[in-house]
């Protein structure tokens, strides 16, 4: 499989071996090697043909949970004083 890039601002439409293909302006399309080579050699010499770039999935960003705040009632024993 090869990637075809349309470097123009126009839509490209072709029919190769009975199959229709279309690439939007500045768009990309992955096709078989045979189709890509025929397209470049016989129809649009200006298209860019390359191996497809494998996109790695973006790591999922999980929002951090807010720390849980607990309220506690403090009971002081008689004679106990808090330090300031």
**What range defines the domain where residue 7 resides?**
2-50
> Does 27 map to a domain?
yes
> Does 72 map to a domain?
no
pLDDT tens, residue by residue, 11-70: 999 999 899 999 999 999 999 999 999 999 999 999 999 998 777 777 787 777 777 777
| Number of domain units in the chain | 1
Q: Establish how many alpha carbons lie within 13 A of residue 51's alpha carbon, considering only the half-sphere containing its beta carbon.
A: 3
> Does 18 map to a domain?
yes
> Does 81 map to a domain?
no
Give yes or no for a contact between 3 and 29, defined as CB atoms under 8 angstroms apart. yes
Give yes or no for a contact between 46 and 14, defined as CB atoms under 8 angstroms apart. no
> Does 40 map to a domain?
yes
> Does 42 map to a domain?
yes
pLDDT number for residue 14:
93
> Does 25 map to a domain?
yes
Distance CA 30, CA 2 (A): 5
pLDDT number for residue 80:
67
Report CA 23 to chain centroid distance, whole Å: 19
> Does 14 map to a domain?
yes
């Amino acid at each position: 499989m090869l990637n075809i890039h349309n470097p123009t601002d126009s839509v490209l439409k072709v029919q190769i071996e009975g199959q229709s293909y279309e690439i939007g302006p500045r768009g990309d399309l992955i096709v078989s090697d045979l189709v890509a080579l025929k397209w470049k050699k016989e129809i649009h010499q200006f298209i860019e043909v390359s191996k497809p770039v494998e996109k790695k999935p973006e790591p999922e960003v999980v929002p951090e949970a807010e720390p849980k705040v607990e309220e506690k009632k403090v009971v002081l024993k008689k004679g106990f004083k808090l330090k300031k």
